[in-house]
Amino acid sequence: MKVESKGYSLEIEPNSRPLLAKRMISTGFDTVSLLMVFLLLTYLIMQTPLAATYNQHAENCRAIEREAITVAGNDMAAVSEILKANDSYREELFAANLHSYLLKMLAGFIGEGILFLLIPLVRKDRATIGRALTGIVLFSRSRQTAATWHQVLSRFIFIFVMESITPYLWTGIYTFLLVPVLRLIVVMLNRNRKTLCDYITFTDLIEKVSYSSIH
């Protein structure tokens, strides 16, 4: 890859792509950070009036479950059948799950907004904390400079929608383990060492030492 700078061309060295080990470390650090922030924010949100509707539906579910246990005793199969036939229970359970998902989506949005949008926007190299620690820069393929603010925003939207709230519907908390592993598998399977997000936003992750030579 050649870069024009001050009237002459510079060749980005082959080591401009971060080593896989560095990507694994940075991804792991960012993932653990996000998980901790997510759990903390979820706990805090659940203590606020925002969780009042969820708490009410959850309590209604527990009340119906207690009634079923009173009728069926310790026969859990019978309890399960009673609950399946109870329309009110199904409605309350659906409402509780929906409100729980919305509250967790809010926690995820705030957490990812801080770690993957706010921090990269205020840093000149557009790095997350994990990438900054491992010397990785988010690079704009089209502009041949550090990624622009709208590329950072595009990455955040993609990550939040496609790699967070969508898989969370099916995998729950395991999303924090599943998505980073899938992301690294994609990186290993293509010679450009890119994720789908990199391709869509026209960005690259490169070594900071390579970037400093063309900045």
Residue 23 lies in a domain: yes
**What does the mean pLDDT of the chain come to?**
88
Q: Give per-residue pLDDT as tens, 93-103.
A: 999 999 999 99
Nearest alpha carbon to residue 204 among 16, 14, 19, 28: 16
Nearest alpha carbon to residue 115 among 169, 174, 171, 159: 159
Residue 66 lies in a domain: no
Q: What's the pLDDT band for 213 if we cut at 50, 70, 90?
A: low
Residue 19 lies in a domain: yes
Residue 57 lies in a domain: no
Q: What's the pLDDT band for 131 if we cut at 50, 70, 90?
A: very high
Q: What's the pLDDT band for 75 if we cut at 50, 70, 90?
A: confident
Residue 79 lies in a domain: no
* pLDDT of amino acid 114: 97
Hey, how many other C-beta atoms are within 10 angstroms of the C-beta on 72?
Answer: 16
Q: What's the pLDDT band for 76 if we cut at 50, 70, 90?
A: confident
Residue 65 lies in a domain: no
Q: What's the pLDDT band for 215 if we cut at 50, 70, 90?
A: low
Q: How many domains does the chain have?
A: 1
What is the mean pLDDT of the segment spanning 131-156? 91
Q: What's the pLDDT band for 72 if we cut at 50, 70, 90?
A: confident
Residue 141 lies in a domain: yes
Query: What stretches of the chain adopt beta strand conformation (E)?
Result: 2-5, 8-11, 136-140, 145-146, 203-207
Lowest pLDDT segment from 104-108, 163-167, 186-190: 186-190
- pLDDT at residue 12 greater than cutoff 70: no
Question: Domain span at residue 132?
Answer: 2-48+101-212
d(Cα 50, Cα 25) in Å, to the nearest integer? Answer: 36
- pLDDT at residue 62 greater than cutoff 90: yes
What is the mean pLDDT of the segment spanning 77-92? 92
- pLDDT at residue 211 greater than cutoff 70: no
Residue 153 lies in a domain: yes
